[in-house]
Every structure is written in C-alpha cells, then in structure tokens.
Chain A
Amino acid sequence: MSTVQTGGTHKSHSPKIYILGYLLSLVLTAISFVLALTHSMHVGPLIVLLTILGALQIFVQLFFFMHITEGDGPPFHSVLLLLGLIFTFAVALMSVWIMAFGTNVSY
C-alpha cells in the first residue's frame, strides 16, 4: 500500500519547524562568517570546517523546508538525491585532488 508518508502531518502544519530551520541556517551562517573573518584558525582546517558547516545547511534545508521525508511510495527521490550529492562532491573534491599535481604548470 503506497500512501503518503507525511512524517507527522501535524508537525508539518506548524510554522515552528520553519522558524527553527531559519534560525539554524542563520546561526550556521553566522558561525562560518565569524570563523572566517576573525582569523582565529589556520587556513587548512578552517576551509574543512566551513565546508562541514555548509554541508549542515544542506540538511537544514532538506529536513526543515523541503520535506524530504515526505513522498509518494518508496523514497526514490532521496536515493537519487544522495547519488547526486555523492557525484557532486566526488567531481569537485577529486578535481581538486588530481589538479594539485599540476600546480607547477601556469595558465
């Protein structure tokens, strides 16, 4: 039987979850902003931390705003999205990694 899984209909009909999501996204942005502009860390770890904070923002949008847990039948969309995320990060990070070997070549 494929019915819509609303993941708690009553919860999704309250503005609380949206307000919480908005506050979380503001806090995460503020943290990365302060970390970047106060020069309190070395650049390497800082970039890793900023990327993790950005990744957390993906989850805030997905779970608080985009209703990722809802859907018609099996969660095909979640699986596809996960695959898309893996490919996206793989393309970006592996490009950086492989191109680091050619840093002595100037364009």
Chain B
Amino acid sequence: MSALQHAITAHADADTPLEYQNPHESVKITGFWIFMATDMLLFGCLFATYLVLRTHTDGGPTAHHLFDIPGFTAETFILLTSSFTGGLSTLAMRLGKRKQVMAWLTLTILLGLAFIGLEVQEFAADVAIGATMQRSAFLSAFFTLVGTHGSHVSIGIVWMVLTFIQIARRGLNQKTARKLFIVNLYWHFLDVVWVFIFTIVYLSGVVM
C-alpha cells in the first residue's frame, strides 16, 4: 500500500483522530514511541546504578534520614494530577475544542512548575545539611537518577509552552494536533518514571 493511497484512505475516515490523519504526522508518533523505548533504557541503567549503590553511604546521610515524606508525597500527587490534565488536553484536542486544550495545557504546565519547584527545594535542603552529590556513592546515584528525571520534566515544560504558543497562533490542525499528542505522551512517560522513583527510591528508602 503506497503512502499516497494510504493518505487518501486514512483521510476519508472522519472517525480518525486529527493527529493520525496525515501519514507524515502519524509516522512521527510511531517514531516517538521508539524514542520512549530508548529513553526507558537510560532510566533503567540509572535505576540499576541506584539500586546497586543504595547502601554505599560512606557514613554520610542515609535514605532514611534524608527523605521527607510530605515533600515526595506532594510531588507524586502533583505529577499524577498533571498527567491527568495533560490527558484531558489530548481529549479536548480530539473534540476540536481549542480553548479547552489551552486551558488544560496551562494547568499542566503550572503543575509541572510546582513539581520542579518542590524538587529544587528538596535538593537545596539536602545540600544545606551536607548531603551533596560528592558525599557518597549513594548520593551520586540518587542525584543523577532524580536529577535526570527532573531535567526531563523541565524540558517537558519548555516543550509544552512552545506547543501552547503554536496552538494559540495556528489553531488545531494535523501538525499541531500531532505535536500536542506527542508532548502528552512524553508527559505520561515521565509520570511512569516518577512512579518508579517514588516506589523504588523514596518509599523503599523510608522503609529500609
């Protein structure tokens, strides 16, 4: 089946979501899934490093001493909620409601900023009591894993702002719909990674 024929067939189906109507756009969604599979491997390696070095605290602060339960719980609920609001912006896009898309996207961006704010606060508090990245192998692994996730979230926020501007200026078309769909995929992916950081780093750190 040629791409052109496919384009005609796909376009004829009114039920097809906007972001899948043009094969040149939908192939980018497939490409983004491939990126997420590889990005997962990056996090897999960082998780492996953390799990191995978790107990190597060199007499310094341990996970049990360091982790602040209200802090990481708030971060978790903020990120879960932002994943939900991001999903609602995809839904609004599929219903063709541009204003709703922009409202949900704004809320998602604000929740993302709140998450980053809390994380920066947490890191600053850790450093203030001498728990720096150089202190022990445990802290190096901790800051690398959680910091890599935080930098992904920061990139996601910038990306969402750029998508917001494009939708504000150009409206919802096949291209902007695809961009919104992909940035939300990325956001849900980061939420999954955080769930594992919450479980394996924070909760396990508190109980052990």
Contact surface of A with B, Cβ cutoff 8 Å: 1-4, 6, 9, 12-13, 15, 18, 21-22, 25-26, 29, 32-33, 36-37, 39, 43, 46-47, 50-51, 53-54, 57-58, 61, 64-67, 70-72, 76-77, 80-81, 83-85, 87-89, 91-92, 95-96, 99, 106-107
Would A9 and B15 be within 8 Å (CB), given that A54-B199, A91-B44 are in contact? Answer: yes
Q: Are A96 and B192 in contact (CB under 8 A)?
A: no
Q: Are A89 and B56 in contact (CB under 8 A)?
A: no
B126-164: contact bitstring with A at CB < 8 Å (1 yes, 0 no)? Answer: 000000000001000000000000000000000000000
Provide the bound-state CA to CA distance between A71 and B25, in Å.
Answer: 12
Beta-carbon nearest neighbor of B190 in chain A: A61
Interfacial chain B residues near A81, Cβ < 8 Å: 33, 36-37
Interfacial chain B residues near A32, Cβ < 8 Å: 198-199, 203
Contact surface of B with A, Cβ cutoff 8 Å: 1, 6, 9-10, 13, 15-17, 20, 23, 26-27, 29-30, 33-34, 36-38, 40-41, 43-45, 47-49, 51-53, 56, 58, 69, 73, 76-77, 80-81, 83-84, 86-88, 90-91, 94-95, 137, 184-185, 188-189, 191-192, 195-196, 198-200, 203-204, 206-208
Beta-carbon nearest neighbor of A22 in chain B: B84
Q: Are A12 and B195 in contact (CB under 8 A)?
A: no
Q: Are B37 and A43 in contact (CB under 8 A)?
A: no
Would A2 and B36 be within 8 Å (CB), given that A25-B83, A54-B196, A95-B48 are in contact? Answer: no
Beta-carbon nearest neighbor of B76 in chain A: A29
- Give 4 nearest A-B pairs by CB, closest first: A84-B37, A88-B44, A77-B33, A95-B48
Which residue of the partner chain, among B17, B40, B52, B56, contacts A4 with CB atoms under 8 Å?
Answer: B17
Interfacial chain A residues near B58, Cβ < 8 Å: 107
Provide the bound-state CA to CA distance between A77 and B137, in Å.
Answer: 36
Interfacial chain A residues near B53, Cβ < 8 Å: 107
Which residue of the partner chain, among A1, A21, A54, A66, contacts B1 with CB atoms under 8 Å?
Answer: A1
Provide the bound-state CA to CA distance between A71 and B112, in Å.
Answer: 28
Q: How far is the CB of B13 from chain A (nearest CB, A)?
A: 6
